[in-house]
Amino acid sequence: MSNLNSRLLVANWKSHKTLDEAKHWLRGLIAFLATESNQSDNKLPQIVLAPPYPFLLPLSEQLRGVTGVSLAVQDISPFPAGSYTGAVSVRNLEGLPITHAIVGHSERRRYFHETHQEIANKVDLLIEANITPIVCVDQTYIIAQAEAIPKRARSGCVVAYEPLESIGTGVSQEVAKVLPVVEEIRTHFGQVPVIYGGSVDEDNLDAYLLATNGVLVGGASLEIAEFSDLITKSIF
Ligand code: PGA
């Protein structure tokens, strides 16, 4: 489970990359981390990598023995194991070292028409399976999303504040506007880790890390050189 003391750096690859590209990226990350962890006092962030489903097994094998990096799924079925063609259930993840699951990403809400209730069902299934949900919210539906999730499950979530207008646009939200939203999220979810997502890059990362417990990175996570720079900036 995540706690408020560790900085979270989540890389969301969405539907990008081939398997070869994914492995190449991870080789780069492992080499980079080996250099960083030799510099004794470094407090690296907790890195969570969310690749497309088919890469989870090969990447988990590549990650064997590597500390500080874990895997997430980008989504999960709102149903338990059963006859739901095309859906990946929490049970399908058993045996894989998955620590987190992104749920309610605005792209899922927009293109796949997901509802607050479906997202709440995913949260329930994930908590039961001991996988930490990263629940994405825009400011306009924080309350509606929180209320759909039973109170006891809310406290087990990480919440990602993702302003719709900042996702993939290159226009990140001013930190001054993020701070009150972080408070609002904690009012409704409890004292959970809150991260920010939306056009995070090397130039704005510092500010978000001061205001939140970490970041969810899309575009700037795709090239390992750029992502390594984000890791360097997250060290404290
Ligand atoms: P972006 O994506 O960093 O490319 O804006 C963030 C996200 O989709 O969570």
**55-74 pLDDT per residue, tens:** 999 999 999 999 999 999 99
CA 149 / ligand 1 centre spacing (Å)? 24
pLDDT digits (tens, 9 = 90+) for 124-169: 999 999 999 999 999 999 999 999 999 999 999 999 999 999 999 9
Length of the chain: 236
What is the per-residue pLDDT for 41?
Answer: 67
Q: Is 168 in the pocket of ligand 1 (CB under 6 A)?
A: yes
What is the per-residue pLDDT for 114?
Answer: 98
What is the per-residue pLDDT for 234?
Answer: 92
Give the ligand 1 atom nearest the CA of 106: 8
Confidence of residue 49 (pLDDT cuts 50, 70, 90): very high
What is the per-residue pLDDT for 40?
Answer: 57
Taking the C-alpha atoms of residue 29 and residue 25, their distance in angstroms, rounded to an integer, is 6
Q: Is 199 in the pocket of ligand 1 (CB under 6 A)?
A: yes
Half-sphere exposure of residue 60, counting CA atoms within 13 Å on the CB side?
17
In 38-115, where does DSSP find H-type helix? 56-62, 106-112
What is the per-residue pLDDT for 2?
Answer: 41
- Indicate the pTM of the whole model: 0.96
Which residues belong to the active site? 105, 162
Give the ligand 1 atom nearest the CA of 166: 5
Give the ligand 1 atom nearest the CA of 136: 9
pLDDT digits (tens, 9 = 90+) for 170-227: 999 999 999 999 999 999 999 999 999 999 999 999 999 999 999 999 999 999 999 9
Q: Is 12 in the pocket of ligand 1 (CB under 6 A)?
A: yes
What is the per-residue pLDDT for 3?
Answer: 45
Q: Is 33 in the pocket of ligand 1 (CB under 6 A)?
A: no
Taking the C-alpha atoms of residue 152 and residue 154, their distance in angstroms, rounded to an integer, is 6
CA 221 / ligand 1 centre spacing (Å)? 9
| pLDDT at position 1 over 50 | no
Calculate mean pLDDT across residues 97-123: 98
pLDDT digits (tens, 9 = 90+) for 3-36: 455 799 999 999 999 999 999 999 999 999 999 8
Look at residue 54 and give its three-state secondary structure: helix
